[in-house]
């Protein structure tokens, strides 16, 4: 790859802790200053305590002081590229808004979406 965000997501995938599903996912999020924050999925034997790569990346970015974001990349080794799950879409909407989402696999296949297209009617503070 030649895009640092995609390279970071693919590299983060190697750190995934997925002994149960064997489904390794990496994510990278670019903040408004250009810094890249990464995450990988971390599984738990109870499954319900598993956390996805996208949420790890968002939470790491927030914990490091980032508050505005440009793009998110999600990397998985699938032929049909893997979008964020529903819980991750909600977290991404809450913290990133209508951000660009780039899906990638290790063989260089890439698809780009806007979060609004993957999550057309999100719940947010406007409903509170």
SS3 51: strand
Task: Give the global pTM.
Answer: 0.95
Quote the number of domains for the chain: 1
Catalytic residues: 54
- Give the pLDDT of the chain (128 residues) as one tens digit per residue: 589 999 999 999 999 999 999 999 999 999 999 999 999 999 999 999 999 999 999 999 999 999 999 999 999 999 999 999 999 999 999 999 999 999 999 999 999 999 999 999 999 888 99
- Residue owning tokens 């990638």: 104
Residues sharing a CB contact under 8 Å with residue 19, sequence separation 6 or more, in sequence order:
43
How much is the pLDDT for 92? 98
- Residue owning tokens 């002994």: 19
User: Strand runs (DSSP E) across 2-127, as ranges?
Assistant: 25-31, 36-40, 69-76, 100-104, 110-114
Q: Which domain holds residue 107?
A: 4-127
The domain that contains 31 carries what CATH number?
3.40.140.10
Check: CB of residue 77 under 8 Å from CB of residue 60. Answer: no
The phi and psi torsions of 3 (rounded to 5 degrees) equal: -100, 120
Closest listed residue to residue 71, CA positions, set 58, 60, 59, 90: 58
Provide the β-strand partners of residue 14.
none
């Amino acid at each position: 790859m030649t895009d640092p965000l995609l390279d970071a997501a693919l590299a983060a995938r190697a750190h995934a802790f997925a002994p149960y599903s064997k489904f390794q996912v990496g994510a990278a999020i670019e903040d408004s200053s250009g810094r890249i924050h990464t995450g990988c999925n971390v599984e738990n034997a109870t499954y319900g305590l598993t956390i996805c790569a996208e949420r790890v990346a968002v939470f790491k970015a927030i914990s490091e002081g980032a508050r505005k974001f440009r793009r998110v990349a999600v990397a998985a080794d699938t032929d049909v590229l893997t979008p964020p799950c529903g819980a991750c879409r909600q977290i991404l909407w809450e913290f990133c808004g209508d951000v660009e989402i780039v899906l990638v696999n290790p063989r260089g296949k890439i698809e780009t979406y806007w979060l609004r297209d993957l999550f057309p009617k999100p719940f947010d503070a406007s409903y509170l």
